[in-house]
Structure 1
């Protein structure tokens, strides 16, 4: 699990290898990850966009950018939280992810970036 707080927005990510959906013989390693976004600040904020970097152990990188998360642009009042799950695939069984969320303070209409902490993706069979 990895956690990082930026400007009062705490982002926690917990990845899990998905052996039922993976096929190591075909270099396909699937990881799910659970994300919790918490507003520790005093202003109401909204998540507008996401920007992920997904690194594979062979040095390749995928960049994923778009509106919201899982089709939503959640609004988080002070002490509010939003939780969602998603997934990614790797070809090597070892990698990492990190990124940012573009947030806006809805009262001041000021945008800022909340960092998504870097976290490691490791298929357990790669540890042997």
Structure 2
């Protein structure tokens, strides 16, 4: 598990390799990632947007951005947390992801970015 704290918001990420899959006659390596967002600040915040950089050792970096996460824009009061899982398909057996969430302070309406720590996506034999 990797973790990072920005302005009192802690992001924790765990990953899991889910095997291979064929799509359009191409082999892909399937990875799941599990994110927990903990609000250790004294302010209520709302996750409004996400920005991901997905590195695949055989391809160009893919950028994924948009509103919320998994169709939600959670609001976290102090000491609350929110967890979700998602996944990605890589053409190689090793890659990485990093990025940030845009949060809005619900008291001041100030927006700020919370960094997502870089994490590896690798088949188990490569992780040892």
TM-score (norm 1): 0.92
Q: Unaligned regions of 5+ residues in structure 2, if any?
A: none
Count residues in correspondence.
126
RMSD between superposed Cα atoms in Å: 1.8
Match of 1:9 in 2: 9
- Corresponding position: 1:41 with 2:32: no
Q: Which moved more, 1:58-67 or 1:110-119?
A: 58-67
Pairing 1:80–2:80 present: yes
Partner deviation per Cα, 1:51-99 (whole Å, 9 max, x = no partner) = 0000011252111000000100000000010000000010011000000
Q: Is residue 2:118 matched to residue 1:100?
A: no
Normalized per residue, the structure richer in strand is 2
SS in 2 for 1:27: strand
What does residue 67 of structure 1 align with? 67
How many angstroms apart in 2 are the aligned matches of 1:51 and 1:63?
Answer: 7
Using the TM superposition, give the Cα deviation of residue 126 of structure 1 relative to its aligned residue in structure 2, in angstroms. 4.7
2:110 maps to 1:110: yes
1:119 aligned partner: 119
Q: 1:84 to 1:127 in 2, by over 3 A?
A: closer
